[in-house]
Structures are given as structure tokens and as C-alpha cells.
Amino acid sequence: MAEAQEWKVLYYEDGVPVYACAYHPDRETTLRCGRCGRPICTQCAVLTDVGYRCPDCVAELRGRFYHATPRHVVTALLAAAGLGWLAGLVGGVLASFLGIWSIFLVLPLAGGVAEGIWRAGARHRAPHLHVYAAAVVLLTGILGVFSGLFFLPINLPFALIAVAVVTAVVYRRVQ
């Protein structure tokens, strides 16, 4: 608990810090891993017979940090391809109707894509998974934008910004 200050504090309540989940930077939580002290949300917490543990400690105790099988990686990347394409299409449509204001809808969209990829891989980590997932989302996202061009006059610059935002969020979250 000595390095408690390295965890992200969302806000202070009566001087007491309320932390963000170490795996979900936008989720507040009061739960902490009993081994390393890392703040974890109820979704990330793993209940072991010695109390709540964070996924990293659980993986470490199992002797493996990366525990995704090739199947998890393939499923996650397939989800990245499908969701990336959809995000490009939806982002493009939003961009053409809302212009710069679409950014407010693109952020939750990006969060949904990242969460979807993470879940498709059953929340298993793999080396460089976030890099591959982001690359797939970028490519299929651009394809999605161009698919939208067939039936709508898409606002191309904002649509591509939307794809870039989704890619960045996936890169940061899927790890």
C-alpha cells in the first residue's frame, strides 16, 4: 500500500481519495486488491479464498502474466474487425450529421468498441494485443467510413477523426 499515490485519484470525498479502477480509468471504486493494493472495480475483482485480488495478481500467482490462448486472440481480433467497421460506419454517419459535435458520441462509441474487443477475448491479455487490435480497428474503421459513402455524403475529415479516436481508445484500453 506504500505506493498508493501511483493509482489514479478521480476525486476526493472529505479529503479521502476515490480511486479509478486500475483497468477502467473512468470507473470509480472503493475496492482494492488485497495483495498489491491496486484499486479494482467489481467487474475486475477476482474473489479468491483469501479475498479480492486484481487480475494481474491472479495471473501472477498462476505463474503467467499473459494467459490468452490463440483462440482468445483470434476472437478478439475478429471482434475488432467487425466493431471497427461498424464504428467507422456509425462514426462517419454521426460526423456527417453533427460535424465536430459528433465527438461527444464518438467517445462512448469508442469505449463500447474497446469493451467489446476486451470481452470477445474473454479479458485475456496477450503480448501486443492492443497494438494488433488498434491496427485492425483503424483499417476496418476506414473501410466502414468508405462503406458509408455509398449511401450518404459522409463528412470525410470528421469521419476519419472519429476513426482515429476509436483507434486511440482501443489502443489504450485493450491491454
| Number of Cβ within a 10 Å radius of residue 95 | 27
Given candidates 20, 57, 68, 154, which one binds Zn ion under the rule CB under 5 A? Answer: 57
* Sign of the torsion formed by the C-alpha atoms of 19, 20, 21 and 27: positive
- Which C-beta is closer to Zn ion: that of 33 or that of 76? 33
Instruction: Provide CB contacts within 8 A for 104, sequence distance 6+.
Output: none
Residues 95, 8: Cα–Cα separation, whole Å? 32
**What are the φ/ψ torsions at residue 111 (nearest 5 degrees)?**
-60, -40
Q: Does 10 bind Zn ion (CB under 5 A)?
A: no
Q: Let me know: does 41 contact 27? Beta carbons within 8 Å.
A: yes
Task: Please give the residues from 34 up to 53 whose contact with Zn ion meets the rule CB under 5 A.
Answer: 35-36, 38, 41, 44
Q: Does 32 bind Zn ion (CB under 5 A)?
A: no
Q: Total number of residues binding Zn ion (CB under 5 A)?
A: 11
Single out the segment in contact with Zn ion by CB under 5 A; choices: 11-19, 22-30, 86-94, 144-152. 22-30
**What are the φ/ψ torsions at residue 11 (nearest 5 degrees)?**
-165, 170
Given candidates 23, 85, 118, 158, which one binds Zn ion under the rule CB under 5 A? Answer: 23
Q: Does 125 bind Zn ion (CB under 5 A)?
A: no
**Residue 22: CB minimum distance to Zn ion, A:** 7
Given candidates 20, 24, 76, 109, which one binds Zn ion under the rule CB under 5 A? Answer: 24
What distances in angstroms separate CA 80 from CA 21, 32, 121, one per listed residue? 23, 30, 10
Which residues of the chain form contacts with Zn ion (CB under 5 A)?
Answer: 21, 23-24, 33, 35-36, 38, 41, 44, 54, 57
